[in-house]
């Protein structure tokens, strides 16, 4: 139920391996919310269909449709979820903890992820002619720069969110999944590795994992 105690219909349009979608699945799971999931294949280009573009002008995933109203952009979706379903909180209420949590989250969401997005990687190889080796160097560079900063910002708690997972953990875990997919060495980021492991011990994170939702 939402903040007013009214049942809300939630439909998540996502792609199993999209890290932005993965963030939202984690947030939904942490809040214990039931939702319908619609797989949108980025490989098949389904996000560019006329029907999808009518709801989402960007043609990206994820998109959460709440009682028929579409919400796009993963960080906006998580913010909406936190306001509509306040418990457990993923974004702190108090100004300074809120700023810290959003800064941590944005290291991933604004600085790492956009540069390694599927459409960017396709442009680098298809339009600019980068080979696979050069593309991998590109990917590793931006993950390493972001993780170096986030390691220093990680704090002492079991999670980036402190004693409980928050929005920054929703962003970190999918990015760690991507880093391992691209075989990025993680030895220099022991705090991030430990936080990722702590998160993955929780059922909410396990249920949101790409392997748990990928098409049969």
Verify that 64 and 99 share a domain, yes or no: no
pLDDT for 46: 61
pTM: 0.90
Averaged pLDDT score across all residues of the chain: 90
Q: Is 56 found in the same domain as 102?
A: no
Count the residues in the chain: 216
Examine residue 132 and state whether it is found in any structural domain, yes or no.
yes
The model's pLDDT over 119-159, given as tens digits with 9 standing for 90+, comes to 888 899 989 998 989 988 999 999 999 999 999 999 999 99
* Residue range 83-110: mean pLDDT, rounded: 97
Residues 76 and 146 in one domain: no
Q: Which domain holds residue 43?
A: 10-89
pLDDT at 41 over 80: no
108 and 196 assigned to the same domain: yes
On the question of pLDDT at 4 being above 50, the answer is no
Q: Tell whether the model's pLDDT for residue 3 goes beyond 60.
A: no
Backbone angles phi, psi at 143, to 5 degrees: -65, -45
Domain boundary among 19, 54, 89: 89
Same domain, 128 and 72: no
Is the pLDDT confidence value at 180 over 70? yes
Is residue 215 included in any domain, yes or no?
no
Same domain, 101 and 154: yes
What CATH number has the domain bearing residue 191?
Answer: 1.20.1050.10
Nearest one of 116, 47, 109 to 78, comparing CA atoms? 109
C-alpha distances out from residue 44 to 22, 49, 56, 178, Å:
19, 10, 17, 20
pLDDT given for residue 119 in this prediction: 80
Number of domains forming the structure of the chain: 2
Does the pLDDT of residue 16 top 80, yes or no? yes
The token duo for 113 is: 């992820």
* pLDDT value for 48: 63
Given 41, 64, 89, the domain boundary residue is: 89
Q: What is the CATH number of the domain that holds 42?
A: 3.40.30.10
Asked if residue 212 belongs to a domain, the reply is: no
């Amino acid at each position: 139920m939402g903040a007013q105690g009214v049942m809300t219909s939630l439909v998540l349009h996502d792609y199993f391996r999209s890290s932005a979608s993965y963030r939202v699945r984690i947030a939904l799971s942490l809040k214990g919310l039931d939702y319908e999931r619609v797989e949108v294949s980025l490989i098949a280009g389904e996000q560019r269909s006329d029907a999808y573009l009518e709801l989402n002008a960007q043609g990206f995933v994820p998109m959460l449709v709440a009682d028929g109203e579409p919400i796009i952009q993963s960080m906006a979706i998580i913010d909406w979820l936190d306001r509509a379903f306040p418990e457990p909180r993923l974004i702190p209420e108090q100004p300074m903890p809120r700023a810290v949590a959003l800064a941590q989250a944005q290291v991933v969401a604004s600085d790492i992820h956009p540069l390694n997005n599927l459409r960017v990687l396709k442009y680098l190889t298809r339009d600019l002619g980068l080979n696979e080796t050069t593309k991998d160097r590109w990917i590793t560079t931006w993950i390493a720069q972001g993780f170096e900063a986030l390691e220093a910002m990680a704090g002492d708690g079991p999670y980036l969110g402190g004693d409980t997972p928050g929005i920054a953990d929703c962003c970190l875990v999918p990015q760690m999944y991507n880093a391992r997919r691209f075989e990025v060495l993680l030895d220099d980021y022991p705090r991030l590795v430990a936080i990722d492991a702590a998160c993955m011990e929780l059922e909410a994170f396990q249920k949101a994992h790409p392997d748990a939702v990928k098409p049969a």
